[in-house]
Structures are given as C-alpha cells and as structure tokens.
Amino acid sequence: MSESSDRILKLGTRSSALALWQSNWVATQLRELGFAIELVKISTSGDVKSGPIGAIGSQGVFTKEIQRALLEKEVDFAVHSLKDLPTEDIPGLCLTSVPPRESVGDVLVSNEISSFDEIPKGALIGTGSMRRKAQLLNQRPDLQVEDIRGNVDTRLQKLDDGAYQAIILAESGLKRLGLTERITHVIDRGVMIPAVGQGALGIECREEDTYVREVLDHLNDLTTFLCVTAERAMLKALRAGCLAPVGAWGQLQEDQLHLQGVVLSGTGDQRVDSDSLVDLSGQTAAAQVESATALGQAVAESLIAQGATGLIAEARENY
C-alpha cells in the first residue's frame, strides 16, 4: 500500500434502504480488512423526483451527484447498483471493483398470482423498467403494464394496497433487504433476460487515487467483473443507455464467457436476439477483460445488424 491504512475513506451513497444496505455491506468488508470507512449520504435526482424513470430526464439519475462528489473529492469512492451506472466514461473516474454478483433474475411479486404462467388475461402489472415491460408484453401482449415508482418498500406497499395485481422486481434487491418471502415466482431467463449489470455492485473511484484503487481491489471478483464487462460493452456499443428495452446476461463457465443479448421495441411486439461466446483460457486477467469487451461489442454488432438501433430509437420516442 502506498499510504497508511489510518486514512479514513469516505464512501458516497444514496440514502435508500437498498443503497445503504449495499454501501454498508462494502464498508463492512473493508473494515474487516482493517480499513476505516465513513459513509456519506448523497441525494440524487432519481431519489427526489417523481414520475417514470425514463421521463425524469437522462442517464445517471441515480449516479450523477455522487460522481460529482467524487470528482470534487468530497468522497473517496462510491457504491452503485451496477445496472444504474451509465456506460459512458467519466474523465477522471473508473469502475475499479465489482464484488461477487447476487442473483441476476427478475421476480414476480403478487398476493394473488402464484406464478408467471398463471397471470390472468388482462392483469395489471407494475414495473418501472422499459426492459421488463417490453419483455412482458412480448410474451403476453394482453397484459396491462403500468409504471411504478419508489423504492422497494414503496412498491411493495402499492402492491399491498391493491394498486396492481403483481409487480416485477429484481431478485437481488429483495434478497439483500431480507424480503425473500415476498418473492412469488422467479421468472425464467427464457422469458425475461436481466438488465445489464443486474445483481452486481459497481465500486467507482478517482482514477488517479492509486491507494483507494488498491484498497478496493480486495473486493473485486474477476468472474463477475468479466461478465458485467461484456454486458456493459454491449450496451455501450448499442448506444442504448441503461433505460432502454435492452437485456443482457453474461456467464462464465470453465473459461468460456457466454453473452446473451436482446433488444425490443417499447411495446414488445418486435425483438432481436443474439448470443456468442469467447474462450478465455490461457489469457492474463487484462487480456480476459479485453476479450470480454470485444465479446460485448460483437453481440451488439449482431443486434444492430438485425435492426436494434431502430427499435431503441422507437422505444425512446414513445416512452
């Protein structure tokens, strides 16, 4: 280490229950390694504005203020839900560490419907995600899918109040909050491909801060890092942004990195799919990251060749 571990590292975080759980988890891991961590709560535009996420304004509604605090050295590093972190590079910042991934899937939560296959015709389903909405309608165009906003507890309360017959949430968030009993049904990946980076945490810091980067490297899981690198490279090459109806799922098994991608129209009536894999055996970690990036770009090129760019543009116009 280039500095004394007596330095107190400031961790920037949102104030939602899930964001605090994630940041406290990271802080605990680092404290157990002997580092001093202080949490600094930062309010973001995604936390204070109402309405559908896509209508709030732009990419990074949950991350921009935290990234500003990093650049201005108000905090030393930040923990994000990786699916909320835009793929555009921010000069001076780097995604330096990705801990082991939690479950990547989406789940059905309902007080009256027991599984995806048993959703009645015309049922009212709540989701704040264009990706989930498009994939739901692709499978079941008869459903009524309406926007739902708020943190996990707020969404569950709206469900319990009868505003929806079911809602779709990330399995990882419910697990982290100790709410696994609310999971009615884990939706099959063949029905709903996850969001880019879903279930993973992204730890970001200033590129120049070698001490913090060395500290955070203790938490990096290379398998997860390679999977999300491929997913994020695909999303970046599509120029889609994290709010578009795009799904991706990277898996590493026996040195084979496999990436599956999907792009849909906002109404779900059109979709294009692509998947590919790369053999990472015998490569250095740095070369593996390069291969993962190339894999994501190749899957994106295949999707673009099938018309993905037009589907993304159409979804944006009509959201």
Tokens in use for 58? 């732009």
Q: What angle do CA 114, 118, 119 make, to 5 degrees?
A: 95
**Given 76, 84, 106, 209, which residue is catalytic?**
84
Report the distance separating Cα 31 and Cα 48, nearest Å.
Answer: 31
> Among this protein's residues, is 84 annotated catalytic?
yes
Opening angle at CA 251, ends 54 and 307, nearest 5: 50
Q: Counting Cβ atoms within 10 Å, is residue 24 exposed (0-12), middle (13-18) or buried (19+)? A: middle
Contacts 24+ apart (CB under 8 A), 85-88: 85/60, 85/197, 85/202, 85/204, 85/242, 86/59, 86/60, 86/241, 86/242, 87/196, 87/232, 87/233, 87/235, 87/236, 87/241, 87/242, 88/59, 88/236
CA–CA gap between residue 150 and residue 146 (Å, rounded): 14
Interacting residues of 289 by C-beta distance below 8 A, sequence separation 6+: 225, 226, 229
Q: Which residues are catalytic?
A: 84
